[in-house]
Amino acid sequence: MNTKEFFAALELLEKEKGISKDIIIEAFEHALISAYKKNFNQATNVKVEINEHTGTVKLYQQKTVTEDVTRPQEQISLAEAMRINPHYEEGDIINFEVTPKDFGRIATQTAKQVVKQRIRQAERDNLFQEFKDREGEIVTGIVVKDDGKHVFVDLGKIEALLPMREIMNPDEIKPNSRIKVYISKIESKNKGPVVYVSRKDPNLIKRLFELEVPEIYDGTVEIMSVARDAGDRTKICVASEDPNVDPVGACVGPSGQRVQNIVDELNGEKIDIIQFSKDPEVLVANALSPAQVTKVVVDEAKKATVVLVPDNQLSLAIGKRGQNARLAAQLTGWKIDIKPESEAENLGIEL
């Protein structure tokens, strides 16, 4: 590639890849100055002049006109300057051509390097923007390998990183297996974008329901909140403003097929689908499903509730290691204190 071909290539790059010609020329100029200083051991003020029509490149050393010269490489005396042109004044800048004879070869090599670098950078930038726009989406990828810290997932144009801490316990991730992941974060690095994905993020549940439930996708049914112990149990709260639509039934699907597809994707993770209510008593009672609730006493000021359940439902309401109660509290945003019916009188609560 000679310099004429270089400028012709710039026109093509601008049309095909959207890389600004001016940005490449500016980078070319900086690269030429660096090459000049490196190859000819010059560290003076240098200016590049590029003629796109002829393809010529010239270098000029810039010197400032001054009365007293203290830096000869950067300054020229007023008396000497006036011998060149009597109109020069102190403070003017004079350009002296310093283009080496062999500089054409260096310019050609530099042009190739700059174009390659800018193409790579543009491709990295485009790839970053593409995946930045997809942040928060669910995608299907193919497992490539793991290095002990991450699983590498092929998303087509890029390999995403699935950190080990973002993998669910039941997941059996093997090379060449297909897997649905949630794009949680994209970072821009020198070598290109880094895409992080997750199997534990609660938003994965939202996206899976959007894929399976048309009423959620079109907005007829809304997901109000999600609480999740990834790989074990999830509670999802749904609502609909359409009185003709049962939001829980829509999510469950005919014969339970919709929710079962999601359970299968999550390797058996249990999913409780809860109907939203503006009434905290109803909402909290629903959230403690599958346990039966006798009464919910609400303290609005503390945003806390005391929940009475049949004595034989106490362990179910609390759940293993307190999971059911904890997820219900996360789902509703209310503090939940579960008590058996047998303690109602001591608590001063009428059944």
Mean pLDDT for 184-210 is 91
- Tokens at 204, concatenated: 């994965």
pLDDT at 347: 80
Among 42-46, 117-121, 337-341, the range scoring the smallest mean pLDDT is 42-46
Strands 56-66 and 75-77, how do they pair? parallel
Domain with CATH 3.30.1480.10 in the chain: 3-123
Domain with CATH 2.40.50.140 in the chain: 142-198
pLDDT at 266: 92
3-state secondary structure of 223: strand
pLDDT at 43: 59
What is this structure's pTM? 0.69
Domain with CATH 3.30.300.20 in the chain: 201-276, 280-351
CA angle (207, 211, 215) in 5-degree steps: 100
Mean pLDDT for 57-67 is 89
- Tokens at 267, concatenated: 């390797």
Q: What is the CATH number of domain 142-198?
A: 2.40.50.140
Q: What is the CATH number of domain 201-276?
A: 3.30.300.20
Q: With 70 as the cut, is the pLDDT of residue 218 above it?
A: yes
* DSSP conformation class of 32: H
3-state secondary structure of 311: helix
Model pLDDT for residues 309-329, shown as the tens digit of each residue: 999 999 999 999 999 999 999
- Average pLDDT value for the chain: 88
For domain 280-351, which architecture applies? Answer: 2-Layer Sandwich (3.30)
Model pLDDT for residues 232-280, shown as the tens digit of each residue: 999 999 999 999 999 999 999 999 999 999 999 999 999 999 999 999 9
Q: With 80 as the cut, is the pLDDT of residue 305 above it?
A: yes
Strands 150-154 and 304-309, how do they pair? unpaired
Query: Letter for the amino acid at 16?
Result: E
pLDDT at 105: 76
DSSP lists the bridge partners of residue 296 as: 307
- pLDDT above 90 as % of the chain: 58
Q: What is the CATH number of domain 3-123?
A: 3.30.1480.10
Q: With 60 as the cut, is the pLDDT of residue 125 above it?
A: yes
Phi, then psi, of 42 in degrees rounded to 5: -115, 135
* HEC per residue, 156-197: CCCEEEEEHHHCCCCCCCCCCCEEEEEEEEEEEECCEEEEEE
Long-range contacts, 176-179 (Cβ 8 Å, 24+): 176/142, 176/143, 177/142, 177/143, 178/140, 178/141, 178/142, 178/143, 179/140, 179/141, 179/142, 179/143, 179/153
How far is residue 189's CA from residue 133's CA, in Å, rounded to a whole number?
A: 17
Q: With 60 as the cut, is the pLDDT of residue 130 above it?
A: yes
pLDDT at 244: 94
Model pLDDT for residues 162-194, shown as the tens digit of each residue: 999 999 887 778 889 999 999 999 988 878 889
- pLDDT above 70 as % of the chain: 96
Torsional class of 333: left (φ above 0), alpha (ψ -120 to 50), beta (otherwise) = left
Q: With 80 as the cut, is the pLDDT of residue 141 above it?
A: yes
DSSP lists the bridge partners of residue 153 as: 143, 160
pLDDT at 1: 46
- Overall residue count recorded for the chain in this entry: 351
Residues in Cβ contact with 320 at an 8 Å cutoff, skipping those fewer than 6 apart: none
Q: What is the DSSP string of 65-121?
A: EESS-S-TTTEEEHHHHHHH-TT--TT-EEEEE---TTHHHHHHHHHHHHHHHHHHH
pLDDT at 41: 67
